Amino acid sequence: MVDAKLEFEAKKHQEGALGYLDNPKRTEGLLKKAILKARNNKGTLGEAWGKLQLFFDLVQAYSKGEYRNVSPATILTIIGAILYFVSPLDVVPDFLVGLGILDDAAVISFTLKKLSVEIEAFKIWKRTTTKSPLD
């Protein structure tokens, strides 16, 4: 039941993700916003911190054309998860200090689990390339 709810929430934001797929400037703006929020919530994010950083790296590499060994559906799903993360009004609104970030972390973890094969391939590619935008 929880996975179905998380998938529903992530899919709601996938439609909005279409506007970022081939728009590097817009994607860069989204990533800046998401990176700032992630840094401000690093302690609360727990394990989701590293997963989110991986998402940022993948979207950035895809947007710049550096890494394209991933399906557009995967990129849309990840951008959708990032949009969910930056949205202040989601299942548990972010203004609820301590709780508001937990649903964001759950969506991130769910998305990573769902896309694990393509994410693992990116991790292997990443080991030989650039630094993370969060470094």
Residue 131, domain member (yes or no):
no
**Does the model's pTM come out above 0.75?**
yes
**E strands of 1-135, at which residues?**
none
Residue 115's closest CA among 86, 85, 79, 87? 79
pLDDT number for residue 16: 77
Looking at the structure of the chain, the number of domains it has is 1
* Residue 85 structural domain: 2-126
Q: pLDDT above 90 covers what percent of the chain?
A: 30
Beta-carbon contacts of 109 under 8 Å, excluding residues fewer than 6 positions away, are 47, 48, 51
Residue 76, domain member (yes or no):
yes
Residue 59, domain member (yes or no):
yes
pLDDT tens track for 73-109: 899 989 988 998 888 765 555 555 556 676 777 778 7
Residue type, 40: N
Segment 50-59 mean pLDDT: 90
Residue 18, domain member (yes or no):
yes
Residue 95, domain member (yes or no):
yes
pLDDT number for residue 50: 85
pLDDT tens track for 116-130: 899 999 999 988 875
Segment 49-67 mean pLDDT: 91
Q: Which comes out higher in pLDDT, residue 55 or 113?
A: 55
Query: Of the given ranges (7-11, 108-112, 125-129), which has the lowest mean pLDDT?
Result: 7-11
Residue 132, domain member (yes or no):
no
* 3-state secondary structure at position 30: helix
